[in-house]
């Protein structure tokens, strides 16, 4: 079991410390390791179920491994109408994985998300929170080339 204690203890006595600790873990690992949840329960003196519940409640947090680059595509109505499904198909074809999966090399993960506030140029994807607006299937290869 890796030692996540040094990260967790920085937030132990802060209001909202558990959420801040999870943000810190996710910044460090790009996800929240399951073993870290057990340690968080001990550090924050809460039941493991509650620690796990907080980690899984917020859509921004991801428990379990995911790729170095997390590609999220907005699935709200404006993006859907503007052709998000075609962009999803292009992403899946280019990466060789389906939504919710990670490439075998651990580099990319595909996820759906709700509105990212870029409705002026739909559809929108984000890669590690960097938005790309007005994405079309033809643009997918070029966008991914920045990260390969």
Band (pLDDT 50/70/90 cuts) for residue 40 is very high
Task: Give the domain ranges of the chain.
Answer: 5-57, 69-145
Res. 1: pLDDT tops 60: no
User: Model-level pTM?
Assistant: 0.75
- Of the candidate CATH numbers 3.40.1790.10, 3.10.20.30, 3.10.150.10, 3.40.30.10, the domain formed by 69-145 belongs to 3.40.30.10
Q: What average pLDDT does the segment 114-135 reach?
A: 90
Closest CA to 90 of 59, 123, 67: 123
Residues 72-82 as b or e (16 or more Cβ within 10 Å = b): bbbbbebbeeb
pLDDT 10s digits, 26-37? 988 888 998 999
Contact yes or no for 32/25 (Cβ under 8 A)? yes
């Amino acid at each position: 079991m890796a030692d996540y204690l040094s990260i967790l203890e920085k937030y132990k006595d802060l209001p909202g410390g558990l959420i801040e600790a999870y943000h810190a873990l996710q910044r460090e690992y790009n996800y929240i390791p399951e073993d870290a949840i057990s340690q968080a329960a001990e550090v924050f003196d809460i039941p493991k179920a509650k620690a796990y519940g907080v980690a899984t409640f917020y859509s921004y947090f991801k428990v379990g491994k995911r790729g170095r680059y997390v590609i999220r595509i907005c699935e709200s109505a404006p993006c859907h109408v503007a052709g998000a499904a075609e962009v999803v198909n292009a992403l899946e074809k280019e990466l060789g994985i389906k939504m919710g999966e990670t490439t075998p090399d651990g580099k990319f993960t595909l996820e759906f998300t709700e509105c990212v506030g870029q409705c002026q140029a739909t559809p929108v994807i984000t890669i590690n929170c960097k938005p790309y607006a007005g994405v079309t299937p033809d643009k997918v290869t070029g966008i991914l080339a920045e990260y390969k």
